[in-house]
Amino acid sequence: MFLKLLQVGEPVLRRPARELSREEILSESTQQLILQMHETLREAPGVGLAAPQVGSAIQLAIIEDLPEYSRDIPESELIARERRPIPFHAIVNPRLRTVGDVQMEFFEGCLSLAGFTALVQRSREVVVECLNERGEPQVINASGWYARILQHEVDHLNGALYIDRMNSRSFMSLENYKLYWKSESVEGAKKGLGGGEGYR
């Protein structure tokens, strides 16, 4: 069963989600929710989905970046983004910390802002301590696109959206992104949109 993807403006998207106990993680209802979220993510399609996006205010998110999602992206762009396939997994009660000072800026979208994208600057490398879908402790060391996805999903669990971090001049419809900016470098897009470092 596909779940309804809530859109920006829903109160649950702007409130910090509550933590889950190990017993709650292993409960039939949470395991069913994870399964339904996975089906919904693939149907969308997307690379990450947080429980608040489907109306559950709990510290749970899922991630999966299938190889076919990158099929139409030029190799040079995949290298620049440091994007590689990521197998399905869940993160529960995550605690994220950034590593180093390197920031990377790329276009980012969200299933709760359907049809839009913007440039978002995020840390290149992160460490996430969390529980997995079986309630087991995990430490995830991630860089590049994976680190971006983790930051995006943990933001959701804290009531934040990418529009809170975006370069505001770069906010646009996906249609116009594909029409005008998809083949541009990030720097080329920023220059074309008339936004320098002062614009956030």
Angle 171-56-117 from CA coordinates, rounded to 5° = 10
101: DSSP letter: S
> Which tokens is 166 given?
């975006």
Q: Which residues does 176 contact at the CB level (< 8 Å), separation at least 6? A: none
Give the CA distances from residue 173 to residues 83, 107, 165, in Å, rounded to whole numbers and listed in that order: 23, 11, 17
Angle 92-93-98 from CA coordinates, rounded to 5° = 105
- Told to judge if 153 belongs to the known catalytic residues of this protein, a careful annotator would answer yes
Among the listed residues 129, 136, 153, 187, the single catalytic one is 153
Q: Which residues does 131 contact at the CB level (< 8 Å), separation at least 6? A: 20, 22, 25, 91, 92, 93, 137, 138
Positions annotated as catalytic residues are: 153
